[in-house]
């Protein structure tokens, strides 16, 4: 199918702030986008998947100073850490954007000029509370009491009183238009709890937003007034359009991919994406994205993750301890996407040994081993199908519709549960049909049973590709499925395995996790 004839899908991660090293939160958000991007590509879509780094602002300037580095050199170094994480996690992003790139500065200044031309920005002065850590302004009513009697942002960040000249965006004018926009686009914010929070916040009243700073210089200069730099969130949010070719709204990329289909964000930055960003775009006469999904946070063994507690979860350590695909599977299987979740070693091992090694790994290993030993290491020749055979094949063939339905609303855990329903059904079918008994009593029937199982495994492996690309590829390799027959178009009867196709010797895909202590004891 020609690319121009395909539907398109544009998904973005938030761009990550470069004042620190990547952690599980960054990996989690980008993983969700990666699964969506891979799924949509396999489903025939022309996909654009963007991630990158947010490199301006007072917080970055301070972090660079603390490291004894020039801000640009500092951001070059830390931004590379996020590229390295993308490779380590096997992410399939098409583009990686940095806000220090010239293409992005040009886009920011173009958006500023568009807002200014529509009288949406005016010069005034700002006096109020600002949290450098959050790069956010807070009203007096939003502050909370700190442990020492001082005031903190609702996020727990320290705040400082700021007074300086500032340009303002007429956010207050957009209260009613935003509420109408949410009503007209009920799927714009998800999940539902977050949508309700956003609507409640907007209904409580919007105030004009300070969108420039003069007290530091690390940022995008305001057009025609270089004493001001653009507020870091106006700068950062524009990245999604920069990558689509803005400000050239006539270019092929922009007309093809904008508006974005999905911005995936953590719940802590929902306000910027679901209130400020659509207001900026509507005010500039541009289309807002189609959907913003705010997911939850992870805790570590029941404790909030923080530097002070020393319990930051390093994605590299997870990969080293458990393997990449098991980590990818766990993060999207363990917790309903959108809710907070707890990472624990025991839960990880239970998923690895239960779902992966016992359920899927054992199914693949014993079926392919029986084919290797009893069918001349070739795809078996099926005979007439029984009702039991047809029921399992139908469940496998209809699986894509169930998975597609929930993936498109970011219910990743439900997608994996749907797949595992068929995995469990296949294991039960093996036990009922007992091909090891049929080998002696009815070899032709054994071939049919093993063919049905091989076909079911093919469907499962094609559908697990977005979640576990390497492990799924190894399963498909062992079924001798050609590279060009691994997309969803090959699901069903048309892409069925061909009898007598030679198969390689089977190898285990999901080894069981064995505790290091137990290994040491047995060695002793």
In a domain, residue 240? The reply is no
DSSP 268: G
In a domain, residue 418? The reply is yes
In a domain, residue 85? The reply is no
Residue ranges making up the domain that contains 433 = 346-495
In a domain, residue 440? The reply is yes
User: Can you give the pLDDT at residue 517?
Assistant: 60
Q: What is the pTM of this model?
A: 0.92
Q: Tell me what the pLDDT averaged over the chain comes to.
A: 93
User: Can you give the pLDDT at residue 4?
Assistant: 42
In a domain, residue 93? The reply is no
Q: What is the mean pLDDT of residues 243-249?
A: 98
User: Can you give the pLDDT at residue 5?
Assistant: 55
Q: What is the mean pLDDT of residues 196-211?
A: 96
Q: What is the mean pLDDT of residues 242-248?
A: 98
Q: Contact at 8 Å (CB) between 98 and 53?
A: yes
Instruction: Give the tokens for residue 239.
Output: 């990245």
Q: Which of 175-179, 267-271, 448-452 has the lowest mean pLDDT?
A: 267-271
Determine how many CB atoms are found less than 10 A away from the CB of residue 200: 9
User: Can you give the pLDDT at residue 25?
Assistant: 86
Helix then strand then coil, in percent of the chain rounded to 5, is 50, 15, 30
Would you place residue 274 in the very low, low, confident or very high pLDDT band (cuts 50, 70, 90)? Answer: very high
In a domain, residue 320? The reply is no
CA–CA separation, 470 and 461 (whole Å)? 10
CA–CA separation, 153 and 50 (whole Å)? 30
Instruction: Give the tokens for residue 120.
Output: 């949406």
User: Can you give the pLDDT at residue 309?
Assistant: 66
What is the chain's alpha carbon radius of gyration, rounded to the nearest angstrom? 26
User: Can you give the pLDDT at residue 42?
Assistant: 98
CA–CA separation, 93 and 47 (whole Å)? 9
User: Can you give the pLDDT at residue 152?
Assistant: 94
Would you place residue 216 in the very low, low, confident or very high pLDDT band (cuts 50, 70, 90)? Answer: confident
For residue 136, pLDDT beyond 90? no
Query: How many separate domains does the chain show?
Result: 1
User: Can you give the pLDDT at residue 93?
Assistant: 98
For residue 441, pLDDT beyond 80? yes
Q: What is the mean pLDDT of residues 434-457?
A: 97
Instruction: Give the tokens for residue 511.
Output: 């080894």
In a domain, residue 369? The reply is yes
In a domain, residue 352? The reply is yes
> CATH code at 449?
1.10.730.10
Would you place residue 148 in the very low, low, confident or very high pLDDT band (cuts 50, 70, 90)? Answer: confident
The pLDDT tens digits for 61-84 are 988 999 999 999 999 998 999 999
């Amino acid at each position: 199918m020609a690319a121009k004839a395909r539907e398109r899908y544009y998904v973005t991660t938030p761009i990550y702030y470069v004042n620190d090293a990547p952690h599980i939160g960054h990996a989690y958000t980008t993983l969700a986008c990666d699964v969506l991007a891979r799924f949509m590509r396999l489903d025939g879509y022309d996909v654009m998947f963007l991630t990158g780094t947010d490199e301006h602002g007072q917080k970055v300037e301070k972090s660079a100073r603390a490291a004894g580095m020039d801000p640009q050199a500092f951001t070059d170094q830390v931004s590379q850490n996020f590229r390295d994480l993308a490779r380590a996690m096997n992410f399939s992003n098409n583009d990686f954007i940095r806000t220090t790139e010239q293409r992005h500065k040009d886009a920011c200044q173009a958006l500023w000029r568009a807002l200014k031309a529509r009288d949406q920005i005016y010069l005034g002065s700002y006096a109020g509370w600002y949290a450098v850590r959050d790069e956010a302004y807070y009203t007096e009513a939003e502050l909370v009491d700190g442990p020492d009697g001082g005031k903190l942002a609702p996020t727990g960040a320290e705040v400082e009183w700021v007074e300086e000249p500032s340009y303002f965006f007429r956010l207050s004018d957009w209260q009613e238009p935003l509420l109408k926009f949410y009503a007209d686009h009920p799927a714009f914010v998800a999940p539902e709890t977050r949508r309700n929070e956003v609507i409640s916040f907007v209904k409580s009243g919007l105030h004009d937003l300070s969108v420039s700073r003069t007290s530091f210089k690390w940022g995008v200069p305001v057009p025609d007034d270089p004493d001001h730099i653009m507020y870091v969130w106006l700068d950062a949010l524009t990245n999604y359009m920069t990558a689509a070719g803005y400000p050239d709204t006539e270019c092929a990329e922009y007309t093809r991919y904008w508006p974005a289909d999905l911005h995936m964000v953590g719940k802590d930055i929902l306000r910027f994406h679901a209130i400020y960003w659509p207001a900026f775009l509507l005010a500039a006469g541009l289309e807002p994205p189609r959907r913003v999904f705010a997911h939850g946070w992870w805790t570590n063994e029941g404790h909030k993750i923080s530097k002070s507690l020393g319990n930051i979860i390093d994605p590299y350590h997870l990969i080293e301890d458990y393997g990449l695909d098991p980590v990818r599977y766990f993060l999207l299987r363990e917790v309903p996407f959108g809710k907070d979740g707890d990472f624990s070693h025991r839960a990880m091992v239970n998923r690895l040994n239960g779902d992966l090694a016992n359920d899927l790994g054992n199914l693949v290993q014993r079926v392919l081993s029986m084919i290797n030993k009893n069918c001349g290491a070739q795809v078996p020749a099926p005979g007439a199908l029984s009702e039991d055979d047809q029921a399992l094949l139908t469940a496998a063939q209809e699986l894509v519709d169930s998975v597609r339905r929930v993936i498109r609303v970011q219910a990743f855990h439900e997608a994996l549960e749907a797949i595992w329903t068929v995995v469990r059904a296949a294991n039960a079918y093996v036990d009922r049909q007992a091909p090891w008994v049929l080998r002696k009593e009815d070899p032709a029937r054994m071939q049919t049973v093993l063919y049905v199982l091989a076909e079911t495994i093919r469907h499962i492996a094609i559908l697990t590709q977005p979640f576990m690309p390497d492990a799924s590829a190894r399963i498909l390799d062992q079924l001798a499925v050609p590279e060009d027959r691994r997309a969803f178009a090959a699901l069903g009867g048309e892409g069925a395995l061909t009898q007598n196709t030679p198969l390689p010797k089977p190898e285990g895909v999901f080894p069981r996790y064995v505790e290091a202590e137990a290994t040491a004891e047995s060695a002793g």
